[in-house]
Amino acid sequence: MDGTDQAQAAQADAGAWHPLDPLRPAEIAAAAEIVRGAHPDVRELRFETIELAEPRKDVVRGFVPGDPIERQARFVAYARGATGVWRGLVSLDQGRVVEETFLADAKPMISPEEFFEIELAVKADPRFQAALARRGVSDQDLVCVDPWSAGNFDVAGEAGRRIAHTFVWMRARAGDNYYAHPIEGLNGVVDIDTGEVLRIDDYYADTAPMAVPMGESNYTADMMDGFKPEPAALDVVQPNGPGFRVTGNLIEWEGFDVRVGFNGREGLVLHRLGYTENGVRRPILYRASLTEMVVPYGAPVRAHHRKNVFDIGEYGLGKLANALELGCDCLGAIHYFDAYVNDITGAPRLIKNAICLHEEDYGIGWKHWDWRTDHAEVRRMRRLVISSISTVGNYEYGSYWYLYQDGIIEFEMKATGIINTVGCEPGKPSRYGTEVSPGVEGQIHQHVFCARLDTELDGPSNRVLECDTVAMQPGPDNPYGNAFYVQERVLARESEARRKVDFDAMRYWKVQATERTNLMGKPTAYKLEATSAVRPYTHPESPSGKRGQFVYNHLWVTPFAVDERYPAGEFMNHSTGDDGLAAWTAQDRPLDGADLVLWHSFGIHHLPRPEDFPVQPCVTCGFKLHPVGFFDRNPMIDLPPKRNAASCCVGE
């Protein structure tokens, strides 16, 4: 079956689809075949990306079920052993490439399949084997080489190449936690395209190497010496089934509706989030996703300065998503969404249960006791949880979107997994970290994320206001010294909308509709509450700082542009920093009343603790979107009163 036949087969049941549905397996395979057919002279064509090319907004907004859908796939492909990439569009209806550009200087992200190729290349290098022998390590099967994106450090011999920089650990025995045994000061540099090991950097080549710490720190159940008493059973039971309804990729729950999407780079994506009130659907977000993250480490010694990975742009959060497990990753009445991404050959790869959907009790939503009548009214709140978890090397990243019955929309990142470890002299960690186990140091670092929020609050025309609380000086208008109020200003242009959190002003930002007002005659709005702002510590002129300029403001606002998708630029691997938010906002485009995109930077500032090892408890960060005059009253006021009959008093 050629690409045209595959495309037609993929479209056979198109009437049941929505334009924003992710590519199906047959579509991914068809797109790859079509692109290969357009490059018959390329011996081995590899694929970084095959994903849905999302239709224009007007097409999506005007879509009626049953309408014909033009399906296009966006691709990034490259020839193994060569530089540059082809970026383009495939028409799955026509079975041909309809747009393509060759980008000679762009370098694709590192694919999961290449992780293994890089490790094997380093382990086979005689220089690496000799360095291990100097450390008394002879069993190659116990050695683990982790590939890291190499950044852009202007190192001789690396320019123009697509390379990986590696760090090394070992297991004490099969199945052992190798991050407990760092082989310090030994790094490999690999040309990913050719497989050539360019260098083996041994920082102890001329001196006695640091001893490999061999104390075991394991976490898998089969290696534990024993367990605490099992906690009392706590089951989540919904005897009548869940409160949500799923139709394809559409979720409906408590007035909200949203479409879930998924791609290899961003992973979980929310499309067309809205709320229906009195029979009228009101749009809130056109698209929301986590579009970039950077993890800069604070140690300048023994090649650790090269650890400043952009996990989304250099690896792909979606490609590294987990297959979630019932009763472990999610509890209760669960609906799973499978996801498909392309592998390096262009074939579709199934990620079973990539997205989890469930409800959670969230305590009381509101309560009041009238002390005069001794009457109390209370309503419990629940939230809808849409989640996905990805493993990027040593770390796990859990992306959680929450919808609440009071209209709040929240994003939470749960970071867990294993901290990146380095060797140290026992009892003598460096100033750049903490000893978490004898001879094992966890280095200070940050996780800085950027969410892209494409708003359509009660329509495509929105404005953003900055809201600061002002304390009045004592005087005639403030005779008692208690006066304070919120002062608002419109962020009218991009130059005005590169903003930082100001806790002294209790600052927040408000997205306002220009086409609708509430009962009080005020524009309907949602506010962005920055709950996890972090101050970056990498210098703006450092390699990491230049490439990740989005971290230097907590809010950026841009008018929507189709090709502005990633805050640090599209091709992050070895990027120079000349693409992304800083470059786009230099145009200083007008914002007031435009179709707006908010970019919010937030994160985690992490000096590891012994309690973070051998596996780190979840550390969280995120942000909230609160309705501010979007509703005319508390949207939970009409929740029916209900007492939970399954609750009981212990001991009675």
Nearest by Cα to 462 from 287, 626, 595, 365: 595
Q: Which of 340, 395, 402, 508 is catalytic?
A: 395
Interior/surface letters 526-554, b for 16+ CB within 10 angstroms, e for the rest: bbbbbebbbebebeeebbbbbbbbbbbbb
What's the order of all strands across the beta sheet hosting 433-437? Answer: 421-423, 440-443, 433-437
Q: What whole-number distance in Å separates Cα of residue 107 and Cα of residue 557?
A: 28
Residue 552 designated active-site: no
Residue 566 designated active-site: no
Residue at 472: amino acid letter? M
Burial of 421 (0-12, 13-18, 19+ CB in 10 A): buried
Q: What whole-number distance in Å separates Cα of residue 152 and Cα of residue 357?
A: 39
Q: What whole-number distance in Å separates Cα of residue 11 and Cα of residue 291?
A: 29
DSSP conformation letters of 301-326: STTGGG-EE-HHHHT-TTTTB----B
Cβ(73)–Cβ(3) under 8 Å? Answer: no
DSSP conformation letters of 232-261: PP-----TT--S-EEETTEEEETTEEEEEE
Helix, strand or coil for residue 37?
A: helix
Rg (CA), the chain: 26
Nearest by Cα to 353 from 260, 450, 286: 260
Cβ(570)–Cβ(576) under 8 Å? Answer: no
Q: Which of 21, 193, 311, 458 is catalytic?
A: 311
Q: What is the DSSP code (8-state) at residue 39?
A: -
Q: What whole-number distance in Å separates Cα of residue 214 and Cα of residue 137?
A: 12
Residue at 405: amino acid letter? Q
**CA neighbours closer than 13 Å in the CB half-sphere of residue 377:** 10
Cβ(567)–Cβ(575) under 8 Å? Answer: no
Q: What whole-number distance in Å separates Cα of residue 535 and Cα of residue 601?
A: 10
Backbone angles phi, psi at 182, to 5 degrees: -70, 135
Helix, strand or coil for residue 72?
A: strand
Burial of 132 (0-12, 13-18, 19+ CB in 10 A): buried
Backbone angles phi, psi at 398, to 5 degrees: -100, 115
Q: What whole-number distance in Å separates Cα of residue 603 and Cα of residue 222?
A: 34
The residues that are catalytic are 311, 395
